[in-house]
């Protein structure tokens, strides 16, 4: 699954963010050098890889909570990416914020092996798309979502010019 569900899902989430955030989309269409910052903000705001599981190899205490060796724990990247201690006004989509310390690609030894490829591919796709279709909106009010507790993205995203 690595690199398939996560990347295709993220492309949909980034397109969805831009279809809803008109000021951000117009800024990117006018200046493609802003695309990387917007991409990082989308990885923070609405990442496709929401969570993964770990099994503890030793006892750990975090914030007063004791977890035992062998316990299954969930790394909730999407939640951490809205942590107000890290990001001011975390529920606001803001392409001018410095979002690189998000956990959209995880962290530590198992952080995403394909993050640079994903970034380059996404940047090229949106550069090309915004050059041809600078104005677009979403068509459907209700989106069909991927059925998964780990990934979050629309199964289908219909966009219209204008
Ligand atoms: C925007 C697209 C992508 C997102 C959001 C994403 C997200 C993630 C996340 C959150 C993890 C960490 C999982 C963990 O902590 O266990 C991860 C791991 C990984 N990703 Fe990605 N990924 C993306 C694209 C890709 C691509 C394009 C590839 C390969 C071509 C890839 C290959 C991998 C691999 C191999 C791992 C496992 C690394 C390890 O366990 O040591 N990913 N990814």
Q: Which CATH number belongs to the domain containing residue 144 in this structure?
A: 1.10.630.10
Determine the structural domain holding residue 137 and report its residue range.
5-49+92-161
Q: Report yes or no on 140 lying in a domain.
A: yes
Report which protein residue has its CA nearest ligand 1's atom 18. 112
Count up the domains in the chain and report the number.
1
Are 16 and 46 in contact by the 8 Å Cβ rule? The answer is yes
Q: Report yes or no on 63 lying in a domain.
A: no
Query: What region does 64 belong to: left with phi over 0, alpha with psi -120 to 50, or beta?
Result: left
Q: What are the residues facing 6 on neighbouring strands?
A: none
- pLDDT higher than threshold 80 for residue 138: yes
Whole-number pLDDT of residue 162: 86
Quickly count: other Cβ atoms within 10 Å of residue 106's Cβ.
Answer: 16
Pocket perturbation via mutation, ligand 1, pick of 39, 45, 105, 146 by most ligand atoms within 8 A of CB: 105
Pocket perturbation via mutation, ligand 1, pick of 1, 3, 38, 75 by most ligand atoms within 8 A of CB: 3
**pLDDT bracket for residue 3 (50, 70, 90):** confident
Rg of the chain's alpha carbons, rounded to an integer? 17
Are 51 and 76 in contact by the 8 Å Cβ rule? The answer is yes
The pTM (predicted TM-score) of the whole model is 0.94
Pocket perturbation via mutation, ligand 1, pick of 106, 112, 113 by most ligand atoms within 8 A of CB: 112
Report which protein residue has its CA nearest ligand 1's atom 7. 105
Q: Report yes or no on 113 lying in a domain.
A: yes
CA–CA separation, 62 vs 158, rounded Å?
43
Phi (first) and psi of residue 80, to 5 degrees: -60, -35
DSSP strands (E only) in the chain: 51-55, 60-62, 65-67, 72-76, 136-138, 159-161
Q: Report yes or no on 78 lying in a domain.
A: no
Q: Report yes or no on 84 lying in a domain.
A: no
Q: Report yes or no on 73 lying in a domain.
A: no
Which of these ranges, 22-26, 102-106, 146-150, has the smallest mean pLDDT? 146-150
Ligand 1 pocket: which residues have CB below 6 Å?
2-3, 6-7, 10, 47-49, 52, 75, 77, 104-106, 110-114, 117-118
Which of these ranges, 9-23, 28-42, 59-73, 95-109, has the smallest mean pLDDT? 95-109
% of the chain residues with pLDDT over 70: 100
Q: Report yes or no on 68 lying in a domain.
A: no
**pLDDT bracket for residue 121 (50, 70, 90):** very high
% of the chain residues with pLDDT over 90: 93
Q: Report yes or no on 87 lying in a domain.
A: no
pLDDT digits (tens, 9 = 90+) for 58-112: 999 999 999 999 999 999 999 999 999 999 999 999 999 988 889 999 999 999 9
């Amino acid at each position: 699954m690595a690199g398939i569900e996560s990347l295709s899902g993220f492309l949909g989430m980034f397109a969805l963010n831009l279809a809803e955030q008109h000021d951000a989309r117009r800024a990117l269409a006018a200046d493609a050098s802003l695309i990387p910052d917007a991409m990082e903000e989308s990885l923070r705001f609405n990442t496709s890889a929401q969570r993964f599981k770990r099994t503890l190899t030793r006892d750990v205490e975090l914030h007063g909570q004791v977890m035992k060796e062998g316990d299954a724990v969930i790394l909730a990247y999407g939640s951490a990416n809205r942590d107000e201690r890290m990001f001011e006004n975390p529920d606001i989509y803001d392409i001018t914020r410095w979002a690189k310390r998000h956990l959209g690609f995880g962290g530590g030894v198992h952080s995403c092996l394909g993050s640079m490829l994903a970034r380059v591919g996404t940047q090229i796709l949106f550069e090309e798309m915004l050059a041809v279709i600078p104005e677009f909106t979403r068509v459907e009010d209700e989106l069909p979502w991927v059925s998964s507790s780990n990934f979050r993205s629309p199964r289908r995203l219909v966009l219209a010019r204008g």
